[in-house]
Structure 1
């Protein structure tokens, strides 16, 4: 999968102290991140990792560990290690796993492992999780279709299905002490979601989003999202 062309791309290039990598959610595209990328590009270069499976001849991945292994190779190709990894839903899980791996492996020189922003990510999805009860494949397909008009609908749906399998079967086990921001949506599962992340993250900041999982990137909720991300980023820059 790491040999698939064009998974890593530049979303905004600027000299600054904080390079960021945005990682795709279930469905594989990056369109929902464009406004967030513009905001983060004020502080450094912003990259994005889309998923394999969206172009003819590509095969979508059904395993979080295999995606993380492939994306770690992509991060190793960057001019400098990213200071921040961020993602929505499955993308946040991948950001966490990559940051935890970097922390466990150690970084070259004095470079700390990347901080993490998780946008309504769940460390595990129990069968009774509200997301799994709300026709998630249809919701994922609908949420990405308007932002991924360049991709064939059949490829979008097959990639979303593969990612849903990956999310259902993965359990986050690796703890980490990297600075982490969790943005948690209104949900019957929010308390359990936060409690589980607190058992894994020793430097966790939690902020509530007053919307559902698939409403985050619609106005006015995206303004709320940016309003929470900016102070976290400011804190990272001040600490460097």
Structure 2
């Protein structure tokens, strides 16, 4: 659950979203997350488009990895969200190689971020790059979002993503989208934040969310990749792990956390996941400055 401090931090991020990012909508998607580690690793955004959800995982992995986030187009004013997984994976592969010219590459993703990590790995390998490790945390193997057949239902899902502690779930999927987003803005600005700015940012992030849900519809991986993998299953979707395992030709380690989808990124599950990722890196890892991309 989000604490009051985390809710306030999220409101501040939404309030300051226009000022924190690069001014140009054409700016690249890669952002710095932690610089204390030495081995580069990239965390790809989930359906909401930002890497805000990875805060606890970043803290757990920061001593091992030099961490970058890959955020979605559309979060900045004037930019349009991606509508094709193939297009996004191609763009992210180019951005990853710009940040780290030589492989092997480490790609990490939760939920839709896992799908993007896999597709970006496939694109990198198609381009002749070496992908060392892919970490999929409760990533959907097949996605046919029948639960989001109408826009009001999408708005309720968006509210639950933004506020997964239950306050976002107060959105009624039978109410108009604008009503649901207004209620969410009220919750996020309860401490006196600039409501107009937060509401504008919510509109932009909702557009990204809807575009990504559409991009995911009907997804199923088409071909395996050669990388090693760490695969994590949540309590409510354990079947995705064995399905994903067949899509990697490298070594595979699996973990069933017993946690729910969002709880995978919170203690104690996130600590267990990070421990397995560090163990896999220690056993399988190869220096990025030795093997060319």
TM-score normalised by L of structure 2:
0.68
Query: Could you tell me how far 1:14 is from its partner in structure 2?
Result: 3.5
> How far, CA to CA, are the matches of 2:274 and 2:245 in structure 1?
23
Distance in structure 2 (CA, Å) of the matches to 1:55 and 1:35: 24
- Matched with 1:122 is 140
- RMSD value over aligned CA atoms? 2.9
Q: Distance in 1 between matches of 2:144 and 2:265?
A: 25
Distance 1:38 1:14 in 2: 11
> What per-residue deviation string (whole Å, max 9, x for no partner) do you get for residues 147-187 of structure 1?
xx796111121111111111123221121121011111112
Paired residue for 1:165? 214
| TM-score where L is the length of structure 1 | 0.82
Deviation at 1:196, TM superposition (A): 2.1
Alpha-carbon distance change, 127 to 28 in structure 1, aligned in 2, over 3 angstroms:
closer
1:88-237 → structure 2 map (5 Å cutoff): 88-107=110-129, 112-126=130-144, 138-144=156-162, 152-187=201-236, 189-191=237-239, 193-202=240-249, 203-237=251-285
Distance verdict in 2 for CA 1:44–1:216, change over 3 Å: closer
Say yes or no: does 1:71 pair with 2:92. yes
Cα deviations by residue, 1:70-99 (Å, 9 ceiling, x for unpaired): 111211211433531001111111111111
Structure 1 residues 90, 205: CA separation in 2 closer, same or farther (over 3 Å shift)?
same
- Deviation of 1:23 (Å): 0.5
Segments of 5+ residues of structure 2 without an aligned counterpart are 1-24, 165-187, 189-196, 288-293
Higher mean alpha-carbon deviation, 164-173 vs 65-74, is at: 164-173
> How many angstroms apart in 2 are the aligned matches of 1:236 and 1:228?
12
Residues of 1 paired with 2:148 and 2:261: CA distance? 8
Q: CA deviation at 1:11?
A: 0.8
Q: How big is the shift at 1:104?
A: 3.0
Q: Find the residue that maps to 2:136 and give its secondary structure.
A: strand
Q: How many residues align?
A: 227
Q: Which residue pairs with 1:35 in the alignment? A: 56
Instruction: From the superposition, tell whether residues 229 and 138 of structure 1 become closer, same or farther in structure 2 (CA, over 3 Å).
Output: farther
Question: Would the aligned equivalents of 2:56 and 2:266 in 1 still touch at CA under 8 Å?
Answer: no
Partner Cα separation in structure 1 for residue 210 and residue 77 of structure 2: 16
Tell which deviates more after alignment, 156-165 or 221-230. 221-230
Over 6 Å off, 4+ runs: none
Where does structure 1 lack aligned partners over 5 or more consecutive residues? Answer: none
Deviates more, 1:214-223 or 1:25-34: 214-223
Deviation at 1:59, TM superposition (A): 1.1
